[in-house]
């Protein structure tokens, strides 16, 4: 984008440096991924200029012929990918998708049963200062202390005791398979509606590497930018009986005009996910997470629940006498980027935490395989075992840089955004 360097070098520089940072560093943030150049290109188009409030064929503005076509493509492809009755591709984010479902399924003051944030749940499932905790009555379930697995017996007890109108399953930091069928049975017994929030695992679900929530839940929400590898955004799938209500809660209930450039990019990403290479990619994501987890365990780092079935791991640092906030800073010095994360029953606050969360989607997109992820596991262990040793971090930093150079990211974008001269 050479013209931006002329008109606005300050912003051009931020973009150039961020592209270079993403290329140079090893991203293990479980919620991040690299959208394809085609997905990025669709976002950077004049579709952003168009006001298209409403839905295809029912817009409040003229000139929506191509907006209609591209949104219909996104919906058709979403349905082909996930096999639901109805899809709404307009939510600007995963949180917005959840807000729309809460508005469709509940009246203010009614009760939600959802996973405790401290055990891996999400802000939008009922955190106190989030809209979901402010407008609804929230009861939470968690994992068993010993196994780190969801305590389904307790979920059932809470459901029968509190009779929630809505049960939410799905999490941001749960490394194991979710038993949607069990949640369905509990919801039926308690007379509740079920929302499966598969924000993190949407790509695994699409590739059939995780049990399918669509047959079990009235509503399924997701983000399009995590394992699904699309643009930043959200989506809701629902049963036919809720379709009209849900659409009216998305618009005009909680949003105005849809982001048509992002919806075009969602269509591109869903198209990519329908192609055969996508399932192979998701398989690699899961295998890589296992290889990383096995390496860390062999080096004496316990994992919450003992391992992973998915793309993410939660490393328990309590025995190391180190906080998650210390660990993520040490690792960032070496170019390994992850986040501190609460572990279940964490004695420390969310600003410190006793764990780190690691995920494989982004680095797998770059092409790293199991052998590379074993090396990454060794580096993480080397760095966290010797927090006082800057020389270890310097060695790892060099090795990380060699590895990322061997798997270059966005070469043509790097060239396009490079500072002129």
Ligand X SMILES: *Cc1c(COP(=O)(O)O)cnc(C)c1O
Active site residues: 51, 53, 197, 223, 226, 232
196 within 8 A of 220, measured Cβ to Cβ: yes
- State the binding string over 17-36 for ligand X (x if CB under 6 A, else -): --------------x-----
Backbone conformation region of residue 269, classed left if phi is above 0, alpha if psi is from -120 to 50, else beta = alpha
User: Under the criterion CB under 6 A, does residue 311 sit at the interface with ligand X?
Assistant: no
CA distance 355 to 353: 6
CA distance 289 to 358: 8
Residue 229 or 393: the one with the smaller Cβ distance to ligand X is 229
Residue 75 class from Cβ within 10 Å (0-12 exposed, 13-18 middle, 19+ buried)? buried
User: Under the criterion CB under 6 A, does residue 90 sit at the interface with ligand X?
Assistant: no
Q: Tell me how far, at minimum, the Cβ of 68 lies from ligand X, in Å.
A: 25
Helix (H) or strand (E) holding 15: helix 9-24
φ, ψ dihedrals at 151, nearest 5°: -90, 90
SS3 content of the chain, % helix, strand, coil (to 5): 50, 15, 35
User: Under the criterion CB under 6 A, does residue 50 sit at the interface with ligand X?
Assistant: no
**Which of 20, 72, 93, 255 contacts ligand X by CB under 6 A?**
93
Specify the stretch interacting with ligand X by CB under 6 A; choose among 69-77, 90-98, 135-143, 340-348. Answer: 90-98
* Residue 226 tokens, joined: 């995590």
Count residues contacting ligand X (CB under 6 A)? 15
Residue 94 or 344: the one with the smaller Cβ distance to ligand X is 94
Q: Which residue is nearest to ligand X (CB)?
A: 94
**Which of 43, 87, 166, 171 contacts ligand X by CB under 6 A?**
171
User: Under the criterion CB under 6 A, does residue 377 sit at the interface with ligand X?
Assistant: no
- Distances, alpha carbon 245 to alpha carbons 24, 134, 191, in Å: 46, 22, 20
User: Under the criterion CB under 6 A, does residue 176 sit at the interface with ligand X?
Assistant: no
Neighbours of 208 (CB within 10 A): 10
Q: Tell me how far, at minimum, the Cβ of 411 lies from ligand X, in Å.
A: 28
Q: Tell me how far, at minimum, the Cβ of 310 lies from ligand X, in Å.
A: 12
CA distance 164 to 266: 33
**Which of 54, 94, 164, 335 contacts ligand X by CB under 6 A?**
94
User: Under the criterion CB under 6 A, does residue 170 sit at the interface with ligand X?
Assistant: yes
Specify the stretch interacting with ligand X by CB under 6 A; choose among 92-100, 159-167, 183-191, 386-394. Answer: 92-100
Q: Tell me how far, at minimum, the Cβ of 381 lies from ligand X, in Å.
A: 27
User: Under the criterion CB under 6 A, does residue 197 sit at the interface with ligand X?
Assistant: yes
- Contact residues for ligand X (CB under 6 A)? 31, 93-95, 98, 122, 124, 170-172, 197, 199-200, 223, 234
């Amino acid at each position: 984008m050479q013209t931006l360097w002329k008109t606005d070098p300050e912003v051009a520089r931020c973009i150039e440096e961020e592209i270079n940072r993403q290329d140079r560093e090893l991203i293990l943030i479980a919620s991040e991924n690299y959208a394809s150049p085609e997905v990025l290109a669709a976002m950077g188009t004049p579709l952003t200029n168009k006001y298209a409030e409403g839905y295809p064929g029912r817009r409040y503005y003229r000139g929506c012929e191509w907006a209609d076509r591209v949104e219909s493509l996104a919906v058709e492809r979403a349905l082909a990918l996930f096999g639901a009755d109805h899809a709404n591709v307009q939510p600007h984010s995963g949180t917005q998708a959840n807000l729309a479902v809460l508005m469709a399924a509940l009246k203010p003051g009614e009760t939600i049963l959802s996973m405790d944030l401290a055990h891996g749940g999400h802000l939008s499932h009922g955190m106190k200062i989030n809209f979901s905790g402010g407008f609804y009555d929230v009861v939470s379930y968690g994992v068993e202390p010993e196994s780190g697995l969801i305590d389904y017996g307790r979920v059932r007890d809470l459901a029968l005791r509190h009779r929630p109108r809505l049960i939410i399953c799905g999490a941001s930091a749960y490394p194991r398979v979710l038993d949607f069928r069990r949640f369905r049975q509990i919801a039926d017994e308690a007379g509740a509606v079920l929302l499966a929030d598969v924000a993190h695992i949407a790509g695994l679900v699409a590739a059939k590497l995780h049990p399918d929530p669509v047959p079990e839940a009235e509503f399924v929400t997701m983000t399009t930018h995590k394992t699904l590898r699309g643009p930043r955004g959200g989506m809701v799938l629902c049963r036919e009986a809720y379709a009209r209500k849900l659409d009216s809660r998305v618009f005009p209930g909680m949003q105005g005009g849809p982001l048509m450039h992002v919806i075009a990019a969602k269509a591109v990403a869903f198209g990519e996910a329908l192609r055969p290479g996508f399932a192979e990619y998701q398989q690699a994501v899961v295998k890589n997470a296992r290889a990383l987890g096995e390496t860390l365990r062999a080096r004496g780092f316990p994992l919450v629940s003992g391992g992973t079935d998915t793309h993410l791991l939660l490393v328990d640092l309590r025995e190391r006498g180190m906080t998650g906030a210390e660990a993520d800073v040490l690792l960032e010095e070496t170019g390994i980027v992850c986040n501190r994360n609460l572990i279940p029953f964490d004695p420390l606050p969310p600003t410190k935490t006793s764990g780190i969360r690691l995920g494989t989607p982004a680095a797998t997109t770059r092409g790293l395989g199991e052998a590379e992820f074993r090396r990454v596991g060794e580096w993480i262990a080397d760095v966290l075992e010797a927090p006082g040793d800057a020389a270890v971090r310097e060695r790892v930093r060099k090795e990380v840089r060699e590895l990322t150079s061997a798997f270059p990211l966005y070469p043509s974008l790097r060239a396009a955004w490079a500072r002129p001269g």
